[in-house]
Amino acid sequence: MRLLLLALAAALPAQQAPAPAAPAVPAPALTAAEQRASFSRMGFEIGSQSPLPGIRTDYEMSADEVDAFLAGLRRAMLAEDAPGAALDPRFNAVLQARAAARSARAKQANADFLAKVDADKEVTKTASGLRYKVVKAGEGAKPTAKNTVSCRYHGTLADGRVFDSTRARGDQPISFGLGEVIPGWTEGLQLIAKGGVIKLWIPANLAYGDQDNGPIPGGSVLEFEVELLDIK
């Protein structure tokens, strides 16, 4: 038997020991240009997540004005002296005038948008000014302001920009007390039953008024398509 085992062992291929792992190759050092590009990307990431893009939009800054603004940021980062403040009163007047003009244009755009909505014969306007169109009525009892509801929804501004949507979050429903949201939602969702779908056009006085609210500019009409999934 011992001879047989030795013969079998001789016939099997020899097992090789695992090769040692190759030493890690260090990453090449950044060149000066690559390091500068990396800091530029760092600035971009910080800037894109900050209020800076909104400031440019709010005050309708030109490319030259953006450059001047960034020059001020540079002075601050390098702890240099601040520019003189003698122009501040007149400059504040410029900013206020730009903000007022932007607000007036936005109000006109939202008024024009509502006029187009009102021209649709299938849209109903309530006494409060809410506009709605029932896409699907649903079945059973309708909710009251005391209920908690579960919904999917898609919200856009007058220019078509999406400001909030469950579709962007994997279409996961959201639940909330119907009396704890903007008045346009409280009123509108009481018009359908479970399983229903409704389109809402909510004027600013039933939404967030004339104040900016995150991605929603002050004075905005909000357009929603809402599916009412459950009522508790």
Q: What is the pLDDT of residue 53?
A: 87
Q: What is the pLDDT of residue 106?
A: 86
Q: What is the pLDDT of residue 102?
A: 85
Domains of the chain by residue range: 123-231
Tell me which residues of the chain have a pLDDT lower than 50.
1-12
> Does CATH number 3.30.360.10 belong to domain 123-231?
no
Q: What is the pLDDT of residue 82?
A: 86
The phi and psi torsions of 83 (rounded to 5 degrees) equal -60, 160
Q: What is the pLDDT of residue 32?
A: 93
Q: What is the pLDDT of residue 57?
A: 83
Burial of 42 (0-12, 13-18, 19+ CB in 10 A): exposed
pLDDT digits (tens, 9 = 90+) for 158-197: 999 999 999 999 999 999 999 999 999 999 999 999 999 9
Which of 214, 103, 114, 112 has its CA nearest to residue 164?
214
